Amino acid sequence: MSLIQTERLQLRLLRDDDGDAAGMLQLLNEPGFHQFIGDRGVRTLEQARDYVRKHTFGSYTAHGFGMYAVERRSDGAWLGNAGLVRRPGLPTADVGYALLSPHTGQGYAREAVQAVLAYARASLGLGELRAIVSQGNARSVALLEKLGFDRDGTVVLPGEVEQLLMFVHRPNR
């Protein structure tokens, strides 16, 4: 069941079934994911299921939001994920997104993030939202700026060493 629908996409809660585990396994091992987000050490379907359980289900329970599967409505293809994360070290929830490489450059990330922003405001009542990006990820920086995010300095998340660019998106933008 979809939680959010757009013209071309549906976003739904991630599951720990074979389909979502296979999609997450592929996504977490994409070269771009490793380069800009990091290697999560997930190499098997079972590890992918565990990753979804640990990093997604807990967020759904604790915060009422998390990362969602992004699927193409026309054929149900699993494209990646997008959603909201509550991270230590950030003053608000932040928007996250990652797509499998065959699906980048087609406007899906923009459409998914716009939908997540609308859902966060209309359904969850959230105000300011953040996004964090590796400094070398020019495509993500450009996307966030197109969507009305403003640069808000840099941040090093607790337990990490990389200084990330931080962006803020305010209501009514």
Q: How confident is the model over 121-159, as pLDDT tens digits?
A: 999 999 999 999 999 999 999 999 999 999 999 999 999
Q: How confident is the model over 53-102, as pLDDT tens digits?
A: 999 999 999 999 999 999 999 999 999 999 999 999 999 999 999 999 99
The pLDDT value given to residue 173? 62
The pLDDT value given to residue 1? 73
The pLDDT value given to residue 61? 93
pTM: 0.95
Helix H or strand E encompassing 169:
strand 164-169
Distance from C-alpha of 27 to C-alpha of 42, rounded to nearest angstrom: 10
* Beta bridge mates, 153: none
- Stretch 19-31: mean pLDDT, rounded? 97
- Residues 6+ positions from 160 with CB-CB distance below 8 Å: none
Domains of the chain in sequence order: 4-126 (3.40.630.30)
- Please count the residues of the chain: 173
